[in-house]
């Protein structure tokens, strides 16, 4: 058979083995999801599994894998190879497994624990299998380890550099004890660790099965071919784009470690030239004092994830990295230097970099893009659960869904997601109430919670909860309170996130997006609102029926229909149907357009 | 399945295009396929019965029916207008779902609309906590408000799901009574009647789907029953469900959501039935049709079950369902080349229109069917069920065009299409076997559906399997599956506690409660006591996990020894699936389950008559990967006699399917008319 130049292996075998590799990584994901103990992993799916080449290049990832991990994985493996400081084949024995969570060795934050296993065949390492999972707690000052007051990565829990947790097949129980002793929920940690070890061992076994069917040379060549294939696909997409330079800036609310409340700016310049794309982050702010920073590997990861969302058909592997030229000087908020604190990377910098990428592509490829999506607010709640049968420390990691941005290619956005392009899910309320001493008072879409536009953003979401047995300690690292998801092409920004203690009582106060060890009294409600998406296009162009449907569904108030869309709602009938006052609407929309022209003329003068 | 009676048992499976029938009586087996009648599917059922020459008024004991009416209602969102009543603050659970996505990265992906729009999701004041204690009473006025809105909006069916109702259903039950008191003609589903397990979204979705299809199913079944009655039908009409069982027509409103996608489940039950009748306890079933392939496993003579099935993204139906996996590999799957020169097959399908290029209905892309035609595996002269003739020229130019982009000649391109389609199916087989701790080489591959028999042997080669079986009538296998099943009801209750803390007496009481409910359902079905069978099981996990493994228990009072052996079984199954055991972690019980069977006297498939040895109908060249183009004898299936052994390469043709026997495989017809196909020598992968 012939050879396709991009693929470099016969095209039929290429695809047959592509299927085989994706079976392996999907099976790793299924194992971790089925076998892990913490609900963050089992219900909410904050994990990933992957295969890398002996050099640490990413080959394959699974369909439910946490995108935030994916882009960092090659950096973890490469970082490990550098850390051990000698040829991997000399250092490792067959059956060894490495554990690490070191954000500064190619990681994300210290809660993400990675297990890496070399796959030996005939005395040679032919691949690395890796399983990552977010552990609910990794120790440190506050339950859940998210601490905006940390001024160093050493305040963010246990740091484990790449060391062997299993040698030649034997798990090092002493090491596991040391790790678990540093964690508030040692049983969950141990169970999650066993599941992850199970996953990398399984991957090793499956890869060796493939080697025995196809031969080592074919398998090694296939890994290289998969990478070449993705790179070629992505470069073709770049080639099809007009050459030129764009830029985009988004703010993080503030640096929680600084006395100033100045926003921290993220900036990206996208330069397309032929089949080259340069992502230049030199314009980002200096690294922050508080924990909103991200390591270089996190920033690569978010840039890759956002790019993948624009070009979803390109398989995510090392070819993606190879096709993009990154400019990322050290010492920025998105390339923080050790020992800067980084636990809040997933709420501040990570979503901000995603916004930067989308904000550039929306200028070039609008039909494949959307206005600003919701980011992430991490909340962790811990304490002692006195309920019979529990009687132990607990840590609950609760995040919240929000809306995605309006898209010119689609009517509206309906997505309610935890975080952009995450595979994560919510944890069922009934599971949380069973496992933790708390009760939810609501979990619902919020009215008037999205950016207006011809194509509106997806609605934001509110949760209200209280603790039923004893007090709890809350720590939060979030963002997007001051600056909600951005609108585009005339669409408006969405309202910002909110976290409010004891709403509607005399104790009511805003907790903000950064708090450490806040005591939450038993039975006091906490309201947690997360934004909808930004709007796309002129709201006055939005068809009246679309506006009315949102009013009928109580996603939009008649007041907002009037002020944002110029639609005057006449009545909402007994069957819940809304009717517009046609004449009034026509007049109001004309007035609003006129006002807009006047103010833009005034601005021009 | 005790006795065999000299009366007819009919199995009828209605799909969107064809209605399939299998009729068995006293040593006779008849099969047929007629066009479905979507405007009134019951007419197609009558047509099917007429087509096998059985009078509706003749001695028919049982008509087992798999129907697509509820599937269609869900897929096309044309079920009953449904209202949902929830705990105050939680009406959006149905639409928030699990806050995940069907496509992780595609910005343009949208979730399907929820089956109940937001304005028909009404909240009422009430709250029950995780332990079942009433925290806030149910507000009757709120119920009355909801009913007012529903009636004003033309709602026909109501679903009610409250938080923690799985622990204490009292508010759901009171709410149902309150709705019915105000509005007696409403159809009302409460979630706790269907499921007693945690996870509010899954329970809400199941209750909503149930309410949504209930009026549709009720109307269809009553029309069908009336039509049959008009023709003096004297047997029992039963409806197939996705849990691999039947439910009498009169009880079809116990859990209508279970009838959604019952057809694929029936195919797996055919595999279970054939496992018993051919003494092959381990079968891997492959149902490959025009757009997709379903893969399932029968182990030790039993189909396997999972705890939910998902007819549409974001709509889990939380009932035990036959464990099967669908992949986008069928005859119509399109072969394409991506921008960087990699070959792909599917998941897009040309469907029936425009169809494969060889259908001459406007399709221009090469499909799996075109590849099969180009390779001589399908006959150019073949006439499809709807009278369609295949066009070799169009297939050749479509496949050649695909090959040109890869630098492959036409035959290599066609072989590549088949190989990639097979590797897609192999991926599904690996999920169903290897990922569950099973080795596909321990199984017989039972291939059916229009395209399954054509791909079976090469797929078996790919998986290292040595035995393939093709049933007598591959195109009506789902209808055959309804022949082997019993009346089945599943009831379950969450019972979350450490296994070491379980008091055998207490769990025995739970089982007895569940059994009492299950038996009352069978009593309602008029199943006499001696025909009632109860199967008990426990869902177990390591404490902290959310995923469980189901472990069967003997149907005797629970003792410490019973629980100990369940623990052993759990650890064994866990080891087999996950390749490790979490030593030191305690095991937890999640759910107690009871499956109640009303035994139906099953059928014994008749033996086929012996025939004189026949010559092949013709010889034609067929292309294989290693052998190249070789002359293959072509036989009509009905000409093959029991016991005759033939060596590949061979083509065996019949009305609705073509079987390909490659070189190095042999075929024999068993007493029941199945083709038993064996690999005669080692093939590389």
Q: In the structure, what pLDDT confidence band is assigned to residue A94 with cuts at 50, 70 and 90?
A: very high
How far apart are the two ends of chain B, measured CA to CA in Å? 40
Query: Closest by alpha carbon to B265, among B484, B39, B584?
Result: B484
Average pLDDT of A364-392?
94
**Residue B271: per-residue pLDDT:** 97
**Residue A422: per-residue pLDDT:** 64
Closest residue on chain B to A205 (Cα): B579
User: Is residue B130's pLDDT more than 60?
Assistant: yes
Percent of chain A residues past pLDDT 70, beyond the cut: 97
Average pLDDT of A415-422?
64
Average pLDDT of B130-159?
97
Q: How many CB pairs under 8 A join A and B?
A: 244
CA B494/CA B510 separation, integer angstroms: 10
Q: Which residue has the higher pLDDT, A573 or B622?
A: B622
Average pLDDT of B171-179?
98
Strand order in the sheet with A324-327: A244-252, A264-273, A276-280, A324-327
Average pLDDT of A501-527?
96
Query: Closest by alpha carbon to B56, among B68, B42, B36?
Result: B42
* pLDDT, mean over chain B: 93
Asked if residue A407 has a cis previous peptide bond (ω within 30° of 0), the answer is no
| CB-CB neighbors (< 8 A) of A469 in chain B | none
Query: Closest by alpha carbon to B203, among B111, B62, B113, B90?
Result: B90
For residue B526, give both structure tokens: 């008029």
CA A334/CA A105 separation, integer angstroms: 15
**Residue B352: per-residue pLDDT:** 77
CB-based contacts of A111: which residues, under 8 Å, 6+ apart? A101, A134, A135, A136, A137, A138, A144, A145, A157, A343
- Are B95 and A421 inside 8 Å of each other by CB? no
User: Is residue B384's pLDDT more than 70?
Assistant: no
Average pLDDT of A221-246?
95
Average pLDDT of B358-369?
93
Handedness of CA B421, B424, B430, B431 (dihedral sign): negative
Q: In the structure, what pLDDT confidence band is assigned to residue A7 with cuts at 50, 70 and 90?
A: low
| CB-CB neighbors (< 8 A) of A407 in chain B | 107-108
Average pLDDT of A23-52?
88
**Residue B389: per-residue pLDDT:** 83
CB-based contacts of B149: which residues, under 8 Å, 6+ apart? A574, A575, A576, B83, B119, B120, B122
- Pinpoint the alpha helices (H) of B36-183: 41-51, 69-75, 93-96, 140-152, 170-182
Q: Which residue has the higher pLDDT, B516 or A416?
A: B516
Strands A472-477 and A416-417 come out as: unpaired
| CB-CB neighbors (< 8 A) of B343 in chain A | 11-12, 14-15
| CB-CB neighbors (< 8 A) of B415 in chain A | 12
Full DSSP string of B512-569: HHHHHHHHHHHHHTT--GGGEEEEEEEEEEETT-S--EEEEE-SS---HHHHHHHHHH
* Least-confidence region, from A174-183, B85-94, B596-605: B596-605
For residue B559, give both structure tokens: 């003792």
CA B615/CA B639 separation, integer angstroms: 9
CA A465, distance to chain mean position in Å, is 24
pLDDT digits (tens, 9 = 90+) for A457-480: 999 999 999 999 999 999 999 999
User: Is residue A158's pLDDT more than 80?
Assistant: yes
Burial code of A23-50, b = ≥16 C-beta within 10 A, e = fewer?
Answer: bbbbbbbbbbbbbbbbbbbbbbbbbbbb
For residue B99, give both structure tokens: 């806050």
- Are A2 and B406 inside 8 Å of each other by CB? yes
- Pinpoint the alpha helices (H) of A255-348: 296-310, 318-323
CB-based contacts of A405: which residues, under 8 Å, 6+ apart? A358, A370, A371, A372, A373, A413, A451, A457, A458, A485, A486, A487, A488, A533, A534, A535, A536
pLDDT digits (tens, 9 = 90+) for A170-196: 999 999 999 999 999 999 999 999 999
User: Is residue A423's pLDDT more than 70?
Assistant: no
Q: In the structure, what pLDDT confidence band is assigned to residue A414 with cuts at 50, 70 and 90?
A: confident
| B contact test, residue of A2, A10, A16 with most B CBs within 10 A | A16
List the single residue in A27, A188, A555 with the smallest CB-CB distance to B435.
Answer: A27
Q: In the structure, what pLDDT confidence band is assigned to residue A3 with cuts at 50, 70 and 90?
A: very low
User: Is residue A372's pLDDT more than 90?
Assistant: yes
- What does each C-alpha distance from B122 to A448, B89, B144, B671 come to in angstroms? 19, 10, 11, 60
CA A472/CA B55 separation, integer angstroms: 73
- What does each C-alpha distance from A84 to A89, A178, B276 come to in angstroms? 11, 21, 58
| CB-CB neighbors (< 8 A) of A554 in chain B | 118-119
A25, A50 Cβ separation under 8 angstroms:
yes
**Residue B456: per-residue pLDDT:** 98
**What radius of gyration, in Å, describes the C-alpha atoms of chain B?**
26
H or E stretch at B481: helix B477-481
**Residue B17: per-residue pLDDT:** 82
User: Is residue B272's pLDDT more than 60?
Assistant: yes
- What does each C-alpha distance from B547 to A28, A31, B541 come to in angstroms? 15, 10, 7
For residue B586, give both structure tokens: 């305690």
Q: In the structure, what pLDDT confidence band is assigned to residue B582 with cuts at 50, 70 and 90?
A: confident
Average pLDDT of B322-349?
91
**Residue B658: per-residue pLDDT:** 94
List the single residue in B341, B420, B582 with the smallest CB-CB distance to A7.
Answer: B341
For residue B205, give both structure tokens: 């979705």
CA B448/CA B480 separation, integer angstroms: 11
pLDDT digits (tens, 9 = 90+) for B417-438: 999 999 999 999 999 998 888 9
- Are A197 and B580 inside 8 Å of each other by CB? yes
Instruction: Give φ, ψ of B351 to 5 degrees.
Output: 60, -155
Query: Closest by alpha carbon to A251, among A280, A278, A285?
Result: A285
Closest residue on chain B to A444 (Cα): B92
Query: Closest by alpha carbon to A10, among A215, A225, A201?
Result: A225
**What radius of gyration, in Å, describes the C-alpha atoms of chain A?**
25
A513, A253 Cβ separation under 8 angstroms:
yes
Closest residue on chain A to B162 (Cα): A430
Q: In the structure, what pLDDT confidence band is assigned to residue B3 with cuts at 50, 70 and 90?
A: very low
**Residue B428: per-residue pLDDT:** 94
A358, A269 Cβ separation under 8 angstroms:
no
pLDDT digits (tens, 9 = 90+) for A523-553: 999 999 999 999 999 999 999 999 999 999 9
- Are A468 and B152 inside 8 Å of each other by CB? no
Using a CB–CB cutoff of 8 Å, tell me whether B183 touches chain A. no
User: Is residue A4's pLDDT more than 90?
Assistant: no
pLDDT digits (tens, 9 = 90+) for A11-20: 888 988 998 9
**Residue A599: per-residue pLDDT:** 86
Using a CB–CB cutoff of 8 Å, tell me whether B96 touches chain A. yes
Percent of chain B residues past pLDDT 90, beyond the cut: 81
**Residue A1: per-residue pLDDT:** 33
| B contact test, residue of A196, A416, A417, A461 with most B CBs within 10 A | A416
User: Is residue A168's pLDDT more than 50?
Assistant: yes
CA A144/CA A137 separation, integer angstroms: 4
Using a CB–CB cutoff of 8 Å, tell me whether B111 touches chain A. yes
3-state secondary structure (DSSP) of residue A248: strand
* Least-confidence region, from A131-135, A496-500, B600-604: B600-604
Average pLDDT of B518-543?
95
**A157 to chain B, minimum CA–CA distance in Å?**
23
User: Which phi-psi region, left, alpha or beta, contains residue A329 (left: φ > 0; alpha: ψ -120 to 50)?
Assistant: beta
User: Is residue A5's pLDDT more than 60?
Assistant: no
Burial degree of A244 (CB within 10 A; 0-12, 13-18, 19+) = exposed
CA B414/CA B408 separation, integer angstroms: 9
Q: In the structure, what pLDDT confidence band is assigned to residue A573 with cuts at 50, 70 and 90?
A: low
Whole-prediction pTM: 0.93
**B496 to chain A, minimum CA–CA distance in Å?**
10
Average pLDDT of A432-439?
96
B683, B470 Cβ separation under 8 angstroms:
no
List the single residue in B148, B200, B427 with the smallest CB-CB distance to A19.
Answer: B427
Average pLDDT of A293-322?
94
pLDDT digits (tens, 9 = 90+) for B457-500: 999 999 999 999 999 999 999 999 999 999 999 999 999 999 99
For chain B positions 543-562, those within 8 Å of chain A (CB to CB) are 543-547
**B547 to chain A, minimum CA–CA distance in Å?**
5
- Are A232 and B579 inside 8 Å of each other by CB? no
- Are B420 and A468 inside 8 Å of each other by CB? no
Instruction: Count CB neighbours of B671 within 10 A.
Output: 14
How far apart are the two ends of chain A, measured CA to CA in Å? 70
Cα dihedral B550/B551/B552/B554 (nearest 10): -150
Could you tell me what percentage of chain A is helix, strand and coil, using 3-state DSSP and rounding each to the nearest 5? 35, 25, 40
Closest residue on chain A to B406 (Cα): A4
A17, A222 Cβ separation under 8 angstroms:
yes
Highest mean pLDDT pick, A140-154, A457-471, B631-645? A457-471
A175, A113 Cβ separation under 8 angstroms:
no
| CB-CB neighbors (< 8 A) of A573 in chain B | 152
For residue B569, give both structure tokens: 């079984």
User: Is residue B387's pLDDT more than 90?
Assistant: no
Maximal C-alpha separation, chain A? 81
pLDDT digits (tens, 9 = 90+) for A553-565: 999 999 999 999 9
Q: In the structure, what pLDDT confidence band is assigned to residue B685 with cuts at 50, 70 and 90?
A: very low
- Are B164 and A430 inside 8 Å of each other by CB? yes
Could you tell me what percentage of chain B is helix, strand and coil, using 3-state DSSP and rounding each to the nearest 5? 35, 30, 40
Closest residue on chain A to B463 (Cα): A213
- Are A15 and B344 inside 8 Å of each other by CB? yes
| A contact test, residue of B95, B104, B154 with most A CBs within 10 A | B104
């Amino acid at each position: 058979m012939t050879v396709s130049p991009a693929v470099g292996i016969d095209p039929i075998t290429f695809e047959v083995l592509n299927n085989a590799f994706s079976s392996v990584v999907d099976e790793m994901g299924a194992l971790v999801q089925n076998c892990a103990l913490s609900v963050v992993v089992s219900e909410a799916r904050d994990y990933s599994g992957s295969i890398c080449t002996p050099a640490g290049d990413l080959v394959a990832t699974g369909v439910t894998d946490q995108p935030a991990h994916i882009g960092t994985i090659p950096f973890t493996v490469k970082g490990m190879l550098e850390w051990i400081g000698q040829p991997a084949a000399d250092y490792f024995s067959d059956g060894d497994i490495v554990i690490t969570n070191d954000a500064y060795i190619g990681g994300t934050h210290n809660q993400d624990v990675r297990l890496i296993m070399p796959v030996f065949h005939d005395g040679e390492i032919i691949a690395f299998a890796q399983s990552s999972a977010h552990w609910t707690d990794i120790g440190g000052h506050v339950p859940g380890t998210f601490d905006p007051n940390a001024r160093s990565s050493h305040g963010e829990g246990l740091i484990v550099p790449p060391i062997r947790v299993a040698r030649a097949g034997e798990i090092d129980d002493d090491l596991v004890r040391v790790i678990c002793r540093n964690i508030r929920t040692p049983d969950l940690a141990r169970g999650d660790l066993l599941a992850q070890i199970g996953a990398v061992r399984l991957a090793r076994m499956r890869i060796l099965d493939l080697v025995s069917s196809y031969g080592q040379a074919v398998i090694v060549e296939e890994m290289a071919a998969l990478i070449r294939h993705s790179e070629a696909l992505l470069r073709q997409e770049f080639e099809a784009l007009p050459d030129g330079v764009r830029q985009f800036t988004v703010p993080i609310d503030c640096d929680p470690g600084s006395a100033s409340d100045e926003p921290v700016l993220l900036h990206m310049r996208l330069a397309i030239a032929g089949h080259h794309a340069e992502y230049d982050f030199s314009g980002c702010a200096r690294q922050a004092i508080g924990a909103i920073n991200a390591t270089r590997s996190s920033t690569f990861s978010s840039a890759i994830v956002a790019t993948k969302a624009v070009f979803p058909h390109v398989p995510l592997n090392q070819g993606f990295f190879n096709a993009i030229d990154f400019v990322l000087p050290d010492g920025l908020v998105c390339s923080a230097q050790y020992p800067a604190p980084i636990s809040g990377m997933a709420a501040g910098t990570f979503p901000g970099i995603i916004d930067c990428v989308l904000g550039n592509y929306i200028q070039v490829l609008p039909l494949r893009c959307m206005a600003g999506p919701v980011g992430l607010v991490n909340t962790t709640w811990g304490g002692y659960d006195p309920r019979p049968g529990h009687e132990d420390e607990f840590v609950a990691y609760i995040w919240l869904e929000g809306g995605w941005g309006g898209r010119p290619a689609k009517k509206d956005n309906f997505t309610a997601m935890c975080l952009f392009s995450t595979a994560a899910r919510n944890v069922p309320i009934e599971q949380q109430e069973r496992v933790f001493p708390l009760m939810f008072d609501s979990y619902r879409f919020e009215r008037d919670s999205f950016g207006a536009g011809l194509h509106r953003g997806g609605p934001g979401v509110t949760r209200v909860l209280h603790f039923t047995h004893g007090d709890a300690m809350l720590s939060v690292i979030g963002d997007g309170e001051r600056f909600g998801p951005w609108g585009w092409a005339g669409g408006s920004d969405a309202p910002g996130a909110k976290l409010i203690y004891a709403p509607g009582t005399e104790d009511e106060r805003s907790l903000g997006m950064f708090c450490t060890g806040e005591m939450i009294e038993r039975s006091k409600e906490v309201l947690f609102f997360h934004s909808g998406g930004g709007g796309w296009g002129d709201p006055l162009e939005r068809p009246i029926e679309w506006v009315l449907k949102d009013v009928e569904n109580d996603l939009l108030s008649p007041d907002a229909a009037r002020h944002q869309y110029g639609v005057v709602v006449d009545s909402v009938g007994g069957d819940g149907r809304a009717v517009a006052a046609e004449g009034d609407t026509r007049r109001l929309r004309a007035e609003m357009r006129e006002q807009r022209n006047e103010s833009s003329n005034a601005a021009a003068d | 399945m005790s006795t065999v009676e000299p009366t007819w048992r009919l199995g009828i499976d209605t799909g969107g295009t064809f209605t399939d029938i299998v009729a068995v009586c006293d040593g006779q087996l008849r099969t047929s396929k007629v066009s479905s009648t979507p405007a009134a599917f019951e007419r197609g059922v009558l047509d099917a019965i007429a087509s096998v020459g059985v009078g509706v008024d003749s001695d028919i004991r049982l008509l087992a029916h798999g129907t697509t009416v509820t599937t269609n209602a869900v897929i096309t969102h044309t079920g009953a207008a449904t209202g949902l009543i929830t705990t105050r603050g939680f009406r959006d659970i149905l639409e928030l779902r699990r806050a995940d996505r069907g496509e992780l990265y595609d910005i343009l992906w949208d979730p399907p609309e929820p089956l109940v729009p937001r304005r028909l999701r009404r909240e009422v004041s009430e709250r029950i906590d995780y332990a079942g204690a009433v925290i806030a009473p149910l507000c009757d006025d709120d119920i009355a408000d909801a009913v007012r809105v529903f009636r004003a909006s033309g709602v026909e069916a109501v679903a009610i799901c409250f938080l923690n109702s799985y622990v204490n259903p009292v508010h759901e039950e009171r709410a149902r009574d309150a709705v019915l008191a105000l509005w007696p003609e409403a159809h009302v589903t409460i979630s706790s009647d269907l499921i007693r397990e945690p996870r509010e979204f899954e329970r809400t979705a199941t209750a909503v789907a149930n309410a949504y299809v209930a009026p549709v199913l009720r109307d269809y079944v009553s029309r069908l029953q009336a039509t049959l009655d008009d023709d003096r039908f004297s047997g029992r009409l039963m409806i197939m469900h996705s849990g691999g069982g039947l439910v009498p027509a009169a009880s079809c409103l116990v859990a209508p959501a279970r009838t959604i996608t019952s057809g694929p489940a029936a195919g797996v039950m055919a595999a279970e039935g054939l496992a018993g009748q051919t003494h092959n306890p381990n079968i891997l079933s492959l149902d490959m049709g025009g757009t997709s392939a379903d893969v399932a496993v029968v182990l030790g003579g039993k189909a396997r079950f999972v705890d939910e099935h998902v007819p549409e993204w974001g709509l889990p139906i939380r009932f035990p369902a036959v464990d099967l996996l669908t992949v986008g590999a069928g005859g119509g799957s399109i072969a394409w080349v991506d921008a960087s020169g990699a070959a792909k097959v599917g998941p897009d399908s040309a469907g029936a229109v425009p169809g494969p290029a060889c259908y001459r209905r406007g399709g221009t892309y090469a499909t799996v069917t075109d590849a099969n035609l180009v390779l001589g595996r399908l006959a150019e002269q073949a006439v499809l069920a709807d009278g369609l003739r295949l066009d070799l020229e169009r297939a050749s130019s479509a496949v050649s065009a695909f090959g040109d982009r890869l630098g492959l000649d036409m035959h290599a391109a066609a072989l590549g299409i088949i190989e990639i389609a097979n590797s897609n199916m192999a991926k599904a087989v690996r999920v169903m076997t290897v990922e569950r701790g099973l080795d596909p080489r321990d199984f017989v591959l039972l291939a059916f559906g229009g395209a399954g028999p054509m791909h079976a042997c090469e797929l078996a080669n790919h998986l290292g399997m040595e035995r393939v079986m093709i049933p007598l009538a591959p195109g009506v296998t789902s209808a055959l599956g309804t022949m082997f099943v019993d009346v089945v009801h599943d009831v379950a209750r969450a019972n979350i506690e450490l296994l070491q803390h379980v008091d055998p007496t207490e769990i025995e009481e739970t089982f007895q409660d569940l059994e009492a409910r299950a038996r009352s359902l069978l009593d309602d079905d008029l199943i006499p006591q001696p025909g009632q069978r109860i199967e008990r099981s426990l869902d177990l996990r390591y404490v902290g996990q959310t995923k469980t493994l189901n472990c069967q228990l003997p149907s005797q009072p629970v003792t410490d020894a019973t629980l100990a052996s369940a623990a052993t079984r759990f650890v064994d199954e866990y080891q087999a699936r996950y390749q490790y055991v979490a030593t030191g972690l305690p095991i937890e019980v999640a759910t107690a389950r009871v499956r109640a069977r009303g035994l139906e006297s099953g059928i014994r498939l008749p033996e086929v008559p012996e025939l004189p040895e026949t010559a092949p109908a013709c010889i034609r060249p067929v292309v294989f990967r290693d052998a190249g183009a070789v002359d293959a004898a072509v036989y009509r299936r009905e000409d093959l006699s029991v016991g005759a052994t033939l060596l590949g390469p061979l083509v065996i043709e019949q009305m609705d399917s073509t079987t390909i026997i490659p070189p190095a495989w042999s075929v024999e017809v068993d007493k029941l008319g199945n083709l038993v196909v064996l690999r005669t020598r080692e093939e590389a992968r």
